[in-house]
């Protein structure tokens, strides 16, 4: 029986798996995070009640479409990197339908089912049945984001009422808040998260209209108390800083991507959230390792994260 510490050591001794996730997939996630962050910033600046910068009207839909297509293509590319058939199919469904729904509105309803369904399938197969507290925690975190994507998209597509949109927002923000557990022993990271929490609270109190407008157009937050948004900022920033300090590129990039994407109310944001969830919740060996029991001389590929 191996301990969590031994599992971490085993992964550290396997540069191939870490290189695939931390190198190629980490780079993919970083590019999507940058594109998504730029699109979010452009939307916020363009719709601000003042004019800090003159932005051409066509820039908003262009950068939004580019970011959405990048997220879908990136998720599909990540899917093709895995040798696990169920994980590959699930992520491909999410990525391909994200691209289709971005290109054509006629695919919106299908994407509302395919994206969360594919992500849930991939996460469930990659994580398997949890055997420890760490595995249970990571599984709940990954599936919480899949649930948030499903609730948000079906509401946006008009399949269900607006109450499900609010529920999806709550599920997403709760999931980002729970990322703080990845920084539970890092005081610097927790301090950075607390600073972000205070910043959101202060902004909401000092300029509620401007803050509400930014949250709506930039992050698709509707009907949610600002306190919950502040807790999400705490969790996301704390996880990102913890990842940077620990040299965990997947955690840092995934947390930033989730913060930049916002509530997954559109197919583009949904695919970005799915990619971010995979980065923060799955180990390098899980989506990209060999089929369980197929690699000669290998141990269980579902190693337990140190966090």
Extents of the domains making up the chain: 4-288
pLDDT at 53: 65
Structure-model confidence comparison of residues 37 and 6, the more confident one: 37
Tens digits of residue pLDDT in 126-183:
888 888 888 888 889 999 999 999 999 999 999 999 999 999 999 999 999 999 999 9
* 57, 63 contact by CB (below 8 A): no
- Kindly report the pTM of this predicted structure: 0.85
Longest alpha-carbon distance in the chain: 63
Average model confidence (pLDDT) for the chain? Answer: 85
Residue 103 has pLDDT above 90, yes or no: yes
pLDDT confidence tier of residue 10, bands split at 50, 70 and 90: very low
Q: Is the pLDDT assigned to residue 82 strictly greater than 90?
A: no
Instruction: Locate 99 and state its tokens.
Output: 């691209």
pLDDT tens readout for residues 218-263: 999 988 999 999 999 999 999 999 999 999 999 999 999 999 999 9
């Amino acid at each position: 029986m191996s301990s969590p510490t031994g599992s971490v050591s085993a992964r550290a001794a396997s540069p191939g798996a870490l290189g695939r996730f931390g190198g190629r997939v980490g780079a993919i996630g970083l590019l999507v995070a940058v594109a998504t962050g730029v699109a979010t910033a452009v939307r916020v600046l363009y719709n601000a009640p003042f004019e800090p910068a003159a932005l051409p009207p066509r820039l908003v839909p262009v950068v939004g479409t580019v970011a959405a297509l990048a997220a879908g293509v990136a998720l599909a590319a990540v899917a093709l990197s895995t040798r696990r058939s169920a994980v590959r199919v699930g992520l491909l469904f999410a990525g391909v339908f994200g691209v289709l729904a971005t290109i054509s509105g006629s695919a919106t309803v299908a994407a509302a089912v395919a994206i969360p369904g594919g992500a849930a399938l991939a996460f469930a197969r990659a994580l398997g049945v949890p055997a420890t507290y760490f595995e249970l925690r990571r599984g709940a975190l990954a599936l919480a984001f899949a649930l948030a994507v499903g609730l948000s998209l079906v509401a946006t597509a008009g399949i269900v009422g607006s109450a499900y949109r609010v529920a999806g927002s709550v599920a997403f923000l709760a999931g980002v808040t729970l990322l703080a557990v990845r920084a539970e022993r890092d005081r610097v990271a927790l301090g950075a998260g607390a600073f972000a929490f205070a910043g959101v609270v202060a902004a909401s109190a000092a300029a509620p209209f401007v803050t509400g407008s930014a949250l709506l157009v930039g992050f698709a937050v509707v009907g949610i108390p600002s306190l919950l948004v502040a807790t999400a900022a705490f969790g996301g920033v704390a996880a990102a800083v913890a990842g940077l300090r620990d040299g965990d590129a997947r955690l840092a990039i995934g947390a930033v991507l989730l913060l930049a994407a916002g509530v997954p109310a559109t197919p583009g944001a949904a695919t970005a959230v799915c990619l971010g969830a995979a980065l923060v919740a799955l180990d390098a060996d899980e989506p990209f390792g060999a089929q369980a029991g197929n690699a000669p001389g290998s141990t269980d590929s579902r190693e337990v994260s140190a966090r």
